[in-house]
Amino acid sequence: MDPALDRSYRALNGYFDRIFVLTLRRSTERHATIERSLAGLRYELVYGQDKADLDLADLEARGVYDDRAARRAHRYGRGVTLGHIACVLSHARIWRRMLDEGLERVLVFEDDAEPIPEAIALAPAVLEQLPPTFEFVYLGYKGRETVTPRRRLDQAAYVALGALRLIRWSAREALNLLPRPYSENLRRAGRHDHTHAYALTRSAARKLLASQQPVVLNVDTGIGRLILRGALEAYVTEPKLFRQRGDSSYILEGPSAVRR
């Protein structure tokens, strides 16, 4: 193993109480790939909720999903797809285990995560820079990686519209859209997409579970809503340490799905 990768994986093993990799039981070809890309990490596979085993009407009848509340919560008034509900339920299994087993800090990967060779050596520095009060940190993400003048102009417009209640974001939420400086290798999180590599604490797991009972948003947006509202002390690594391998998501839609 590359010495830098070995040091980084040893640091991650030592910092977190547990490392989980979220996958589906039938995704056996991905399990072999995970063994290669995450070799050196002490991780446990967690089998997520397969969309194929769900029925939307049944989920609504049992109160697992609330379509009316979902449409009210979504920025554009949309409901949550069955695949995204399965994704939320899959991540929620890990959040619930944290509470049930008394775990304080956990690292979570989806089964398409892999380290970025030119960045992963920074993992020990990232861990040293995390404040003891952190609740959530993206080690991989997409969206708003850089803060450009155009994005600042958009943000200012959202703040004004939010103050007038002309959009679903409040002015406060719009102010938190973009990442903000914190340390050399960390920024305070804004609104980001993807959950292929993140870490969270017990307090974050409790908040995330409460916010998705019933399910009202996809997992990315649900996490983002808490961040925008200032309910999570959240960070993003700079640079990203993990990326997604390929463009398909078994958790969301099955073998032929394309991640959006």
Average pLDDT of the chain to the nearest whole number: 91
Task: Note the pLDDT of residue 248.
Answer: 52
Whole-number pLDDT of residue 165: 85
Q: From edge to edge, which strands make up the β-sheet containing 186-188?
A: 43-47, 18-23, 105-110, 197-201, 136-138, 234-237, 186-188, 180-183
CB 217 within 8 A of CB 80: yes
Are 93 and 3 within 8 A, CB to CB?
no
Instruction: Give the model's pLDDT for residue 17.
Output: 98
CA distance 134 to 126: 12
pLDDT in tens, 35-52: 999 999 999 999 999 999
Find out whether 191 and 175 touch, Cβ atoms under 8 Å.
no
Residue 55 lies in a domain: yes
Q: Is 46 part of any domain?
A: yes
Task: Write down the residue that tokens 């993992």 correspond to.
Answer: 123
- How many domains, the chain? 1
How far is 10 from 12, CA to CA, in rounded Å? 5
Q: Tell whether the model's pLDDT for residue 207 goes beyond 90.
A: yes
pLDDT at 246 over 80: no
CA 6 – CA 206 distance, rounded (Å): 32
For residue 190, being part of any structural domain is answered with no
Q: Where are the beta strands (DSSP E) in the chain?
A: 18-23, 43-47, 105-110, 113-115, 136-138, 180-183, 186-188, 197-201, 234-237, 242-244
DSSP state, 233? -
Asked if residue 250 is part of any domain, the answer here is no
Residue 252 has pLDDT above 70, yes or no: no
Q: Could you tell me if 217 and 229 are in contact, meaning their C-beta atoms sit under 8 angstroms apart?
A: no
228 inside domain: yes
Q: 247 pLDDT exceeds 80? A: no
The domain of 202 spans: 3-135+197-234
- Reported as a single tens digit per residue, the pLDDT across 98-148 is 999 999 999 999 999 999 999 999 999 999 999 999 999 999 998 888 888
Is residue 178 in a domain?
no
- State how far the Cα of 98 lies from the Cα of 96, in Å rounded to an integer: 5
Looking at residues 213-227, what average pLDDT do you find?
Answer: 95
> pTM score, two decimals?
0.91
Closest CA to 135 of 84, 188, 180, 194: 188
Confidence at residue 143, expressed as pLDDT on a 0 to 100 scale: 80
Is 152 within the bounds of a domain?
no
Residue 252 falls inside a structural domain: no
**Alpha-carbon gap, residue 222 to 121, rounded angstroms:** 30
- Give percent above pLDDT 70 in the chain: 95
Residue 12 parent element (H or E): helix 3-15
pLDDT above 90: residue 73: no
